[in-house]
Each structure stands twice: as C-alpha cells, then as structure tokens.
Structure 1
C-alpha cells in the first residue's frame, strides 16, 4: 500500500500508539478507531492564505480526546479549482496514520450545481447533490455521504458500500445564514437509519472571535459509539469533510465576497 513520507507534526505533538490488533475485517490503519468514541479535527493555519486571500490546500490534524495525533489529512486539488470553484471544488483528501501509511481516501467529485442552498432539489437532481466517497483502504469504497433534500435544514445521508442508508445527519438552520455571526458550536446530529435515535454528533467548534473573523481555520469534534463499525467511523470523518466545505467554507466565501 502506498505511503506518504510527509506527515504533519506541529512542535510538541504527541501521537497515539497503534493498537496491537484490530477488529475482524478492519481495514489497515483503522485499528486506532476501535479504541475511540471521539475524534478532534483541527485545520492547520496557512499564513500565506491569510496574506494573499487565495485558497490553499487544506490540511488537518485528527486527534483523540487526549490531544494525541491519530491521523493527518491533506487535500489534493488543482489551483484552478481552488481559485474559481472555491469551496465547491473537486478534491481528494488523503488521510494517513503517523507513519505515513495512506489509511483513508475521501473523493469529492465536482457537481455543476452544488451549493449549500440547493436543499430543495438535492433529492431529485443528482447534479445538485454534493457528495463524498470514502475509501479504506484507498481503492475500496466503504461509504458515500450525500447531500439530501430537506427544504431548509442541512441534511446528509450516510450510505454503506452497498448503497444502503446507515445514518442521517441533520444540521442547524444558522448554517444557511452567516456562520461568522454564530458564537457557539454548530451541532450536526447523527441519527439512525430510521431517523429516530441520535447516535452521534459532528460539532463545528467556535474558535473565538479573532480566529473566526480573520481566518478560515475550522475545528470539529466527532462523537460516535465506541463499538460502531470502524468503516462507519471513517464515514463520519468523510461526512465532516463534506460539512466543512459545503456549509462552513462556503459561508466563509460568501462573507469574503460580500
């Protein structure tokens, strides 16, 4: 399996030790997730992005609740896509463990009408339905996360490799307004297939007035049952990335352009 020799380590970073073994049918590198019920996703600050105003490739540290780095994620996209499509761009997100092993790949295809405001027609028009495809190991699809119609509230469907809905994710209405005005966490609640039982949460965490106003750096917390299938835990990481680009970065683009 391919490895990436460049893994992001901030000064003083502590890393999570790799478990001795994983669960049956656990993709290589997802053994870490067998011991976790929470992940913290920190986007890395790009100074040149602040100075120039151009979108750079996003990079993220993914940590456990103790602050130990579990994974590192880096975006692969073209300059033209970042310049012209901004938050609606096509990309591949590669997630590695601390040795550089490629553990998860998240692919977001380009959609001609994609936007966070297309809730009305996302169910019926594939061109309006943003999605990401999660592979683990890279090359083997384990989940798809699709922007679904909801008329108002943000709504995502999480599907497994057989295209069956496993979770629904519902977000707050203020995501469709000016997210920069929110001074608290934004909760995207994860519900069971029938939509009745809350089983997890993806929270865009408020980072403080200065950071929120002058940077586009995002912080997320992901919560899920510890006994959840590791492939579905990986799927919720993919859902977090779709939320980041579809709802958070898109509003940052609107704020900067408006």
Structure 2
C-alpha cells in the first residue's frame, strides 16, 4: 500500500462492547456462544481527493459509489413480541464496506399505534459517529392517500438535511390513482427526478420489488432504481427487517444520491413496515419451519 491510499477501517470488538462510532449499537455474535467475537466491521475509507467544494461534508463517500445496499437490522424485541422498535440500518457499498449507519428516532406511542404512518427523525452517521444526513418525516393519517396527495396535509413527505440544519431537498408523494409516484426535489422544491413503483406491491411475494427513478426533464430517461430485495422465508415472515439496493449514475449530484437514500426509507415505511400477524400466522409459520427441518 503506497502513501496515497487509505486503508479501510476494521473493527473487531468483542460481544457486548460498543462499536467505535458513538451512538451506534454493537453487533453481536451467534446466540448462545459465550465469548463469541463480533464479525469485523469494515468501514469505507473517506475519499480525500478530487472533491468539489459544493459537496456537503460527510457526503464525500457518495462520490465514489454508483450503488449502495441498505440492510435493516433484525430487532430481537420484535421477534419475541408485537412491540415496534426504532429501526436501525447499515448502509454498505458493493464491497461490503459500511458507509453509514442510520437510526430512527420516534415516539413509542406513534410506533405502536401508527406503524408505517408514523413521523420520525432518521439520524445517518459516518464511521466516526458524526451525523452527516438527517431525515425528517411528519405523521400522516392515511397510508393509501395517493389519490389526494395534491394536498400537503395528505401527501407523504421527507425532508433531507446535509449537513444537519441545511435542507438539500425533499421527497414528496405525487397524486396517483394506481402507480405510486414520488418527486425528488432540490432545496427550492424544483422536481429533478421522480420515482414510479409497481402497480401492486405484493407482501410476502418471493421476488424483488423495483421502484424506477426517472429524469423529471424528459420523463423517459431512467437514471436509477430502488429495489426491495427478497431476503429469505424466515426473515420475510417473522420480521420487518428489509434489504434494499439503490443504484444511480456515478456522476449524479451527491445531494440527489442522498435524497434517494431518504426516498428508500420513505418507501420502506409506506410499503414494507407492516405489522407481523404472529397470532394469525402461527400455524402456517410452524408448518413452514417444520418443512425446513
């Protein structure tokens, strides 16, 4: 390794100890293993060369990627009960290096009563624990309100700040009778891109679900994709932990990339943050697990 290269940051903390980034939860070894070691967490090195002055601090990582993976962490509390916990996500590049960590902050009553409609603040931190992106979403009464999304009080919306306190854009639900559509707007609320989803999002279907990102100038050019990726039978049936892949051009404005990350969280809450009917599906789940054994 020459003097101009930066080595990836590797963590090998033992079970029960915190990660090096303040405010981020520790990763745990296999259940039942005493003294098990955490799998190493490899962080993406921070780019230091060829950066524009227009790049907000903390978004330098996004200049080097054209695809990211967003993996929601499985919450043990949700597995054992119907209690809705605050969501946590690891944001990785295609090499498996962690780029960011995201943690939801929301009211406990809203989480239990409003579920996917709840308002929240999503804190996105880098490998030093610095908050580089903040996402703000207000509570909306109706999940399926696309037909009246022309009204600000009904349309689902996320505000994206980077750095914290500086709004760089918004994701806003657009009026639609069939296909879910969302506008990706800059800080002046000019529509730069838009997202179109499938006509029907089937819960539990063993397949990937694609939301296509288009240019707002001509409406025909595809510039990216947000894909909800099928995990496995057990994870899909027993948890709400979802995996997403987000693709975009390498030279896309980093602010638009950050806003697309915000759009991914909005899509997750609107379509895939569905309470697990553990009591109604208990028999079917036992049969499924029995076949796997």
Structure-2-length-normalised TM-score: 0.81
Q: Distance in 2 between matches of 1:256 and 1:151?
A: 32
| 2: CA distance, partners of 1:166 / 1:37 | 18
Match among 182, 189, 192 for residue 212 of structure 2: 189
State the distance in 1 between where 2:237 and 2:271 align: 16
Partner of 1:253: 275
In structure 2, the residue corresponding to 1:195 is in which secondary structure? coil
Match of 1:128 in 2: 154
> Is the partner of 1:92 in helix, strand or coil?
strand
SS at match of 2:200: helix
Within the candidate set 240, 256, 272, 1:216 is matched to 240
Alpha-carbon contact 2:238-2:276 (below 8 Å) kept: no
CA distance in 2, matches of 1:131, 1:192: 19
- Relative contact order, higher structure (CA 8 A, sep 6+): 1
Matches within 5 A, 1:58-207: 58-111=87-140, 113-115=141-143, 117-123=144-150, 125-175=151-201, 178-180=202-204, 182-193=205-216, 194-207=218-231
The residue number in structure 1 matching 2:266 is 242
Counterparts of 2:232 and 2:135, CA distance in 1: 29
1:257–1:91 distance in 2 versus 1, CA, 3 Å: farther
Secondary structure at the counterpart of residue 173 of structure 1:
coil
TM-superposed CA distance for 1:257, in Å, is 9.3
The equivalent of 2:34 in structure 1 is none
Partner Cα distance (2:40, 2:106) in 1? 29
Deviation of 1:254 after TM superposition, in Å, equals: 7.8
Aligned residues: 247
Do the aligned residues in 2 keep the contact of 1:71 with 1:95 (CA within 8 Å)?
A: yes
- 1:14 and 2:42 aligned: yes
Distance change in 2, residues 1:156/1:255 (3 Å)? farther
RMSD, aligned CA? 1.6
- Tell me the CA shift for residue 24 of structure 1: 2.3
Specify the alignment match of 1:43 in structure 2: 72
Structure 1 gaps of 5+ residues are: none
User: Structure 2: how far apart are the matches of 1:254 and 1:212?
Assistant: 10
Q: As a proportion of its length, which structure holds more helix?
A: 1
Contact 2:82 2:276 in 1 (8 A): no
Separation in structure 2 between the aligned mates of residue 107 and residue 256 of structure 1, nearest angstrom: 30
Structure 1 segments (4+ residues) deviating >3 Å: 254-258
Specify the structure having the higher radius of gyration (Cα).
2
In the TM superposition, residue 9 of structure 1 has moved relative to its aligned partner by 5.5
Rounded Cα–Cα distance in structure 1 between residues aligned with 2:82 and 2:67: 33
TM norm structure 1: 0.92
